[in-house]
Amino acid sequence: MSSLILVVSAILVIFMIVGAVVTIHARDLLVAIIASAIVDLVLAVLFYILQAPDVAITQASIMGGLTTAIFLVVIKKTERYEQ
């Protein structure tokens, strides 16, 4: 594995941590859903770089698409802003 790929992986991991912190601290729940979608999509790229293509496909389809839609239905049924 080249050193450029390692640098790319380190940058992506740093942005995953920042996205998780934004997800925890957001008062607007739509922002929290978007930040968790960012974490999932970046994690799919990371699985791809670590040469696990089937896990990357599952991660991108289940977590990136389906979980975001289910969370949106949930905050549509309840309420958007945290008290």
Partner 1 sequence: MSWIIAIAIIVLGVVLTLIRAMLGPTAADRMVAVDSMTTITTALLVLLALYFKRYIYLDIALVYAVLAFVATLAVARYMEGGL
**Closer of 24 and 57 to partner 1 (Cβ):** 57
The minimum distance between CB 28 and partner 1, in angstroms, equals 6
40 vs 31: CA distance, rounded Å: 14
Question: Where on the chain is the footprint of partner 1 (CB under 8 A)?
Answer: 4, 8, 11, 15, 18-19, 22, 28, 30-31, 33-35, 37-38, 41-42, 44-45, 48-49, 51, 53, 56-57, 60-61, 64-65, 68-69, 72-73, 75-76
The answer to whether residues 73 and 29 touch, using CB atoms and an 8 Å cutoff, is no
Q: Is 33 helix (H, G, I), strand (E, B) or coil?
A: helix
Q: Which two tokens stand for residue 44?
A: 């799919």
